[in-house]
Amino acid sequence: MIAMMSPGSADAPGLPAGECPVAGTPDSPPGADRCEDRLARVALMRMAEAGDPVMGRLIRAYGPHGALGQARRGVLAPEFVAAEEAVAPRRRTDLDRLAASWAARYADPAADLAQGEERGARLVIPGDAEWPTQLDDLGDTRPFGLWLDGRANLRLSCLRSVAIVGARAATPYGTTVAADLAHGLGSRGWSVVSGGAYGIDGAAHRGALAVRTPTVVVLACGTDVCYPSAHEELFRAVRGRGVVVSEWPPGSHPTRLRFLVRNRVIAALSRGTVVVQAAVRSGALNTAAHASGLNRHLMAVPGPITSEASAGCHVLIRQGKAVCVTSVEEIVELVGSIGDDLAPEQRGQARPHDALNDETRRVLEAIPARGAAGPAAIAVAAGVDLTTALGCLGGLAAAGFVEAADRGWRLRRRG
Amino acid sequence: MIAMMSPGSADAPGLPAGECPVAGTPDSPPGADRCEDRLARVALMRMAEAGDPVMGRLIRAYGPHGALGQARRGVLAPEFVAAEEAVAPRRRTDLDRLAASWAARYADPAADLAQGEERGARLVIPGDAEWPTQLDDLGDTRPFGLWLDGRANLRLSCLRSVAIVGARAATPYGTTVAADLAHGLGSRGWSVVSGGAYGIDGAAHRGALAVRTPTVVVLACGTDVCYPSAHEELFRAVRGRGVVVSEWPPGSHPTRLRFLVRNRVIAALSRGTVVVQAAVRSGALNTAAHASGLNRHLMAVPGPITSEASAGCHVLIRQGKAVCVTSVEEIVELVGSIGDDLAPEQRGQARPHDALNDETRRVLEAIPARGAAGPAAIAVAAGVDLTTALGCLGGLAAAGFVEAADRGWRLRRRG
């Protein structure tokens, strides 16, 4: 398989990267166009910051190839600059500097494609069969392309998926809950999307892998960079059954900014985001904000109020931003199709005495919690006549609720 | 002090119980009237089930003395029966049986008053200075009277009070939270109302007593009956600084029905109810329902979703019936006066780099999480020119964020 082909993109041209001309004409055949777009997007993924909305709008206005032409020159078309100034008033010099920084970061996309292929990754871009179209909801900040490494088809894996996110510094309660929820979602045919960090992220993927469900790791570095390095084994397992995703070129290292930028992809890929544990200020709440902004379902798992690790979840619940969820059923009820996946209402176990009629129940209630009472006293306490009380007591004794005692009737202790 | 006098009811007549005529005329002087009402209510507290709305309406229609006359005869006035049938269609025989059961339970109220006095309790009835007028919100199910035992004035204690309720089978998490919340409320001048059970109830009172705040125990048995018996020491401490409350005559034993009936008083006495832990089906949720029905604030404390003991709290939060609360401040914000008691918003600690300007922050973010990078690479990654990058790096080094390394600049590890 070549680097630029994805398992699901049978309609993508089969040209090796080296045969794609970087420059093309409007009359070039569709296959060549597509190939050109692909190379242009690879170049732009290195030149612009992931999620840069200015680049997003440049691509929308001029196509990937046209955008690349301007970015390489470091000079933007005057009408684009005018449109940008209308979108967000800014100093002309800011746009000039942005374009200059793009130009400074240009590198041969064919080399990136070759390097990606060599390291086992494939590129998918908008229009490919494997492209998850729900990313289009990101508008101007939609990824320019995605590098994928793993056996699963990203688009199919994310059709019914839930993001499970939370703190790196999770407690055993948090990792247990994350793994259990992922496990339960996997058992019900839902896949999991998360980052690749310690704590909640890792536990969620492990829970999903335990039921052999495709799980999606979205990284803030190249798919070939193992961060954190202790997750090498985990990422290998994910590649075997799920897929590792990145919008950065092979070899890219993570930065704090990239983790935050990456979070919008986690939120956009899935139908809803569950925050399992999060401090009041944490990256997980950033993902949560993206989920809300994208009109995805936002859910939070409550925890002990004595634990800082759940404080962010409680803030989301208190502010009405997240729905409090306590089980897989409740999650599936939210993200699932209406009518298909309704959560069973939490109910206590029905107790035998629910079946008693009002009169009999009042007689039962009138029997003291400790000691015994005579039938006349019970009748008075229950507000029924003696004959009624005696009838009820007989029935209650037969049903095992009460028993005769030295001084009347008493409750029968179970066990 | 005589039994019928409460510390706060200086306006009540000082006649000993024995001198109160049970029968009276419309022309009897106010003092005698009051005394008569008092005796009549004591009799009715034994004859009717606490909270019986039919008796509540009978008292409203005929006054305590008039209601007692009909109840002793076991015969209700025809116009009252007609009105009852209009309120709630029922078989005539039901009302006849109810009245007959009242008559059957009559006992000399002077004896009850004497017994209460002997056992250290005092009676308060509507109109007394110590009567908590918020109980009037209970309408037809308002208690006929209350027996009190303890140094605190019930009305004053409940002016700023919060009910803390929950499971008997509480976990250590639940009892810790109950005690902490009660302690915190007491420190802020709020008193606590609860039952007398093991688990959450007991922990709440202990937390309140630890800051020497009046705490209110509402029992489902006579104030002289210690249930559960292991709480004898606790109830003694409550009588010393707070008050023990009951709507049943001295010597009455608890029944399951009485616990449920009692719960409405806990909810009505306080400005809001906090459910600390509750199984999906539990008495605490009954108190919660009363609180909602009375338009009191209903709050629930979240907990681990792995614990059945918090499942009822989560149901209340999920259904939007209760506000999720995680601290004393959040409780006080709800039940307190607007503007007076606003909870501080939960915020993470501000981090030093919040103060950096955008350009400097981007330079900081561009430095790899691991290893070092040269200033040119950092400038490109940050999208700034080299001069700007060098300027920012100098500032960041001075502020302790970064340090020079063999091959450029790296993040400075703290500690």
- Answer whether B280 sits within 8 Å of A98, measured CB to CB: no
Structure token digits, residue B305 = 């979703």
CB contact under 8 A, B281 and A347: yes
In angstroms, what separates the C-alpha of B281 from chain A's closest C-alpha?
5
Judge whether B340 lies within some domain: no
What pLDDT score was predicted for residue A93? 79
Query: Token pair for residue A111?
Result: 């080399």
pLDDT over threshold 90, residue A175 = yes
Hey, is B152 helix, strand or coil? coil
Q: What token pair was written down for B228?
A: 């559960």
Number of domains composing chain A: 3
Q: What is the pLDDT along chain B (415 residues), one digit of tens a residue?
A: 333 333 433 333 333 443 443 333 344 445 668 889 999 999 999 999 999 999 999 999 999 999 999 999 999 999 999 998 887 776 677 889 999 999 999 999 999 999 999 999 999 999 999 999 999 999 999 999 999 999 999 999 999 999 999 999 999 999 999 999 999 999 999 999 999 999 999 999 999 999 999 999 999 999 999 999 999 999 999 999 999 999 999 999 999 889 999 999 999 999 999 999 999 988 899 999 999 999 999 999 999 999 999 999 999 999 999 999 999 999 999 999 755 555 555 545 444 555 677 788 888 888 887 788 888 888 878 878 887 888 888 878 777 788 888 778 888 765 3
Q: Is residue A174 part of a domain?
A: yes
Q: What is the pLDDT of residue B94?
A: 83
Q: Give the domain CATH number at B210.
A: 3.40.50.450
* A189: region left, alpha or beta (phi > 0 left; psi from -120 to 50 alpha): left
What pLDDT does residue B335 have?
Answer: 95
A chain contacts of residue B303, beta-carbon cutoff 8 Å: 302-305
Among B413, B399, B401, B410, which Cα is nearest to B374's?
B410
From A109, A131, A166, give the residue that closes a domain: A109
Contacts of B254 in chain A (CB under 8 A): 368-369
Domain co-membership, B59 together with B182: no
Q: What is the pLDDT of residue A400?
A: 74
pLDDT, mean over chain A: 87
Using alpha carbons, select from A411, A158, A402, A117 the residue that is nearest to residue A271: A158
CA-based nearest residue in chain B for residue A104: B380
| pLDDT of A349 higher than 70 | no
- Give the distance from residue B181's alpha carbon to the nearest chain A alpha carbon, in angstroms: 11
Q: How far is CA A300 from the centre of its chain?
A: 11
Distance from CA of B189 to the nearest CA of A (A): 22
Can you give the CATH number for the domain in which A401 is found? 1.10.10.10
Specify whether A359 is located in the same domain as A328.
Answer: no
Same domain? A284 vs A189: yes
Among the partner residues A176, A258, A280, nearest to B347 by beta-carbon distance: A280
For A12-32, write each residue's pLDDT tens digit: 333 343 344 333 334 444 566
Q: Which of B198, B229, B256 to mutate to test the interface with A (most CBs of A within 10 A)?
A: B256
Under 8 Å between Cβ of B291 and B297? yes
- Residue A412 CB burial class (10 angstroms; 0-12, 13-18, ≥19): middle
Residue A223: the pLDDT is: 97
Please confirm whether the linkage preceding B228 is cis (ω < 30° from 0).
yes
Angle, vertex CA A218, rays to CA A216 and CA A223, nearest 5? 105
What CA–CA distance (Å, rounded) separates A37 from A15? 13
Chain A residue with the nearest C-alpha to that of B322: A318
Kindly state whether residues A278 and A399 are assigned to the same domain: no
The answer as to whether B195 is a domain residue is yes
Q: How many CB atoms lie within 10 A of CB B321?
A: 16
Distance CA B113, CA B39 (A): 8
**A278-321 confidence digits (pLDDT tens):** 999 888 999 999 999 999 999 999 999 999 999 999 999 999 99
Higher per-residue confidence, B345 vs A395: A395
- Are A261 and A139 contacting, i.e. CB atoms less than 8 angstroms apart? no
Place of tokens 């302690």: B183
Q: Is residue A81 very low, low, confident or very high in pLDDT (cuts 50, 70, 90)?
A: very high
Q: Which H or E run contains B373?
A: none
Q: What is the number of alpha carbons within 13 Å of residue A39 lying toward its C-beta?
A: 24
Q: Is residue B406 part of a domain?
A: yes
Q: Are residues B208 and B154 in the same domain?
A: yes
Give dist(CA B283, CA B343) in Å, integer.
29
| Spatial distance between the Cα atoms of B324 and A122, rounded to a whole number of angstroms | 46
A252 and A370 belong to one structural domain: no
B305/A302 touch (CB, cutoff 8 Å), yes or no = yes
Residue among B279, B223, B281 nearest B250 (CA):
B223
Reduced to 3 states (helix: H, G, I; strand: E, B; else coil), residue A123 is: strand
- Nearest chain B residue (CA) to A308: B348
Q: Which letter does DSSP use for residue A138 in this model?
A: G
The answer to whether residues B204 and B314 belong to one domain is yes
Cα nearest neighbour of B50 on chain A: A381
Could you say which DSSP state residue B123 is in? E
Our CA-based measurement puts residue B9 at a distance from the nearest CA of chain A, in whole angstroms, of 31
Q: Do B324 and A306 touch (CB under 8 A)?
A: no
Q: Does residue B91 sit within a domain? A: yes
pLDDT score recorded for residue A91: 67
Task: For residues B328 and A77, give the distance between their C-alpha atoms in angstroms, rounded to a whole number.
Answer: 59
Secondary structure class of A273 (helix, strand, coil): strand
Flag whether A272 is in a domain: yes
Residue A307 shares a structural domain with residue A264: yes
- Residue B28 φ then ψ, to 5°: -65, 150
Chain-chain contact of A317 with B315 (C-beta, under 8 angstroms): no
- B283 and B211 within one domain: yes
pLDDT at B339 (0 to 100): 53
The DSSP letter of residue B23 is S
Tell me whether residue B275 is in a domain.
yes
The answer as to whether A208 is a domain residue is: yes
Instruction: Mark whether A378 and A301 lie in a shared domain.
Output: no
Cite the beta strand spans of B239-301 per DSSP E.
Answer: 243-246, 272-277, 297-300
Q: Which of A257, A347, A367 sits opposite B365 (nearest CB)?
A: A257
Please give the pLDDT value at position A48. 95
Question: What is the spatial distance between Cα A280 and Cα A308, in angstroms, rounded to a whole number?
Answer: 8
Question: Taking CB atoms and an 8 Å limit, are A383 and B324 in contact across chains?
Answer: no
Say whether B302 and A306 touch across the interface (CB within 8 A): no
If asked whether residues B75 and B157 sit together in one domain, one would say: no
Taking the C-alpha atoms of residue A287 and residue A312, their distance in angstroms, rounded to an integer, is: 12
Of B311, B367, B385, the CB nearest to A346: B311
**Domain final position from A82, A109, A136:** A109
Q: Which residue has the higher pLDDT, A273 or A383?
A: A273
Residues of A in contact with B104 (CB under 8 A): 380
Query: Which residues of chain A have a CB within 8 Å of the CB of B346?
Result: 280, 311, 314-315
Name the residue type at position B266.
Answer: I
How many angstroms separate the CA of residue B370 from the nearest CA in chain A?
8
Give exposure, B36-69, as e/b (b: 16+ Cβ within 10 Å). bbbbbbbbbbbbbbbbbbbbbbbbeebbbbebbb
What pLDDT is stored for residue B340 in this prediction?
A: 55
What is the rounded average pLDDT of the residues A154-165?
A: 96
Q: How far is CA A68 from CA A47, A102, B209, B372, B375, in A?
A: 9, 9, 73, 30, 25
Residues from chain A that touch B282, judged by Cβ atoms under 8 A, are 348
CA distance A30 to A127: 13
Please name the residues in contact with B345: beta carbons below 8 A apart, sequence gap of 6 or more.
none
Note whether A63 and A186 are same-domain residues.
Answer: no
Range of the domain at B189: 146-335
- Number of CB pairs < 8 Å for A and B? 147
Question: What is the rounded CA–CA span in Å between residue A284 and residue B202?
Answer: 38
Cβ(B346)–Cβ(A311) below 8 Å? yes
Domain boundary among A94, A109, A124: A109
Asked whether B175 and B200 are in contact (CB, 8 A), the reply is: yes
Chain B residues near residue A254 by CB distance under 8 angstroms:
368-369
Backbone angles phi, psi at A260, to 5 degrees: -70, -40
pLDDT in tens, A183-221: 999 999 999 999 999 999 999 999 999 999 999 999 999
